[in-house]
Every structure is written in C-alpha cells, then in structure tokens.
Amino acid sequence: ILDFNDTKIPGVPISYRFNGDRLRLGFESMMLTSDPGPFAPARAAAQRTQTRANLKLIALGMHAYHGAHKALPAAALTDIVGAGAKPLLSWRVAILPFIEQGELYRQFKLDEPWDSEHNKKLIEKMPAAFRTPGAPNAKPGMTHYQVFVGPGTAFEPRNDRRHGRTFLEFPDGTDTLLVVEGTNAVLWTKPDDLPFDPKQPLPKVGLDADSIDVAFASPAVISLPRTIAANELKALITRNGNETVGAIKPVGISDAP
C-alpha cells in the first residue's frame, strides 16, 4: 500500500518468475469494492491488462497445441470418436501442457467426465490464466474465457478425429475469433461454451460496459467496442463465411498489428 498525503492507494499483488532470459510478471485478480475510491480507473486498467495477458497466453497455448497435433483442440474431449461421442472435459484442460500446466494435466483422468469423483477434485486447482480479474461474484473454479461452438466457428465439432479444426480450414483467415470473454462464467473443466447459430441471436459476451475482450487466430488480442454490429461480430466468429468486415477500431490497449 502506498501512502501519499494520507491517501491510501491499494497495491497491485504481483508474482514473478524467470523463463530463460525473460521475466514474466503475473498480476493477481483484483476486485473493485462498492466504494472503489479515486484510483478505480487505474485498478480497472490493470484488470483489463491482465485479462488481455490471459487471453494472449490461452491463444498462444492453442497455437502450441496446433503445432503439436496439427490441429486445434476440440471444444470437448470425448470418450469415443464419431457419432454418439460423450463430452468429458473442456478444451481448457486439453491446452494445460501448452500453458505450462503439464503437472496439473497429468492429474486428470481423461477417460472420465469433468464431474467424476476424481476429476471434480481438480476444479479448485484452476490455473490463474483462466481467472478473470475483476469478475463480479467470482467463485472458485469458474472462468469467463470461452469459445464459440457451432456451424462455421473455429471450434465447429468434427466427428472423424479427437482433435479440432486446422488453420487450413480457416478460409476467412486469421481474423477469426478463437477465445472471448463470456458474460456468464462456467466451470473451467466442464465442456461448456458459447453456442453459435448464425440464424439466431448471439450469446452474451463481455464483462466491460464499453468493450469485449477477444483473442483472434492471428493471435492478436484486442478489445472490441460494444457498439460492434451483430452481423460484423458474426463475421468474426465464422472461419468460412466469406464475409467482408469493415475496419474495427479497438477500444483501449491492443496488441493487434
């Protein structure tokens, strides 16, 4: 806590570790109170920065998974390949080895569902990368980071293999959404994401009043404006719709080229 002229400023908890010649910082989740004080904007900015860092790590983890398996993870790990497959665990479990969580990944029984006697004990071990800083009423094991699942999406199910789509199946290019911040939280190990039907209204996304934090297949991370038209957002969700999307001005900080 810093003290300037009797004004107390809450500190930002930070963890750090070295990764080769790089120093990696991690900002702990921070919650705004009902009386956030004069430094609420700075704290909110720190939360958004951490959200983007989480999305970037998740998107890079998906790229690493693709590099290892020649395909993205399926939205759900299943018991069998083909029709009638039963969803067991989320893609969030599948990418654990690629976000430096290999030890946790090895603790899962991949042939059992997320709520089996064994696997449900691991819900409380959710990695910090899946924790949304500043999320209202945050509960242990709940995450807002989700993918769209449905026709034409990056995670449209395939019944002929355990893995998901390849980037070769993205004729619309890398300006296709991979991960978004959903409005409603889900259990991180449960195969529970955002259903997409191009003919139906979009599911609720985003926590901020002005923006929606997303990661693209590129894998750029930006904050889309809340004012984005539904047809433009649908165009970003689909990987093969052949739509034309106009220039979208990100809100706030962006790592988009």
Contacts of 70 (CB under 8 A, 6+ apart): 163, 166
What is the per-residue pLDDT for 41?
66
What is the per-residue pLDDT for 34?
42
Q: Does residue 97 surpass a pLDDT of 70?
A: yes
What distance in Å separates the CA atoms of residue 64 and residue 62, rounded to the nearest whole number?
Answer: 5
**How far is CA 118 from each of CA 73, 101, 111, 186, 192, rounded to the nearest angstrom?**
23, 18, 11, 19, 19
23, containing H or E segment:
strand 22-27
* From 70-74, 91-95, 131-135, 251-255, the region with the lowest mean pLDDT: 251-255
DSSP letters of 74-86? PSEEESSSSTTPP
Please write the tens of the pLDDT for every residue from 197-249.
999 999 999 998 889 999 999 999 999 999 999 999 999 999 987 766 655 65
180, containing H or E segment:
strand 177-187
How many residues does the structure list for the chain? 257
Please write the tens of the pLDDT for every residue from 193-205.
999 999 999 999 9
Q: Does residue 76 surpass a pLDDT of 90?
A: yes
What is the per-residue pLDDT for 54?
96
What distance in Å separates the CA atoms of residue 253 and residue 248, rounded to the nearest whole number?
Answer: 14
The vertex-148 CA angle with 143 and 149, nearest 5°, equals: 115
pTM value surpassing 0.85? no
Name residue 223's beta-bridge partners.
Answer: 213
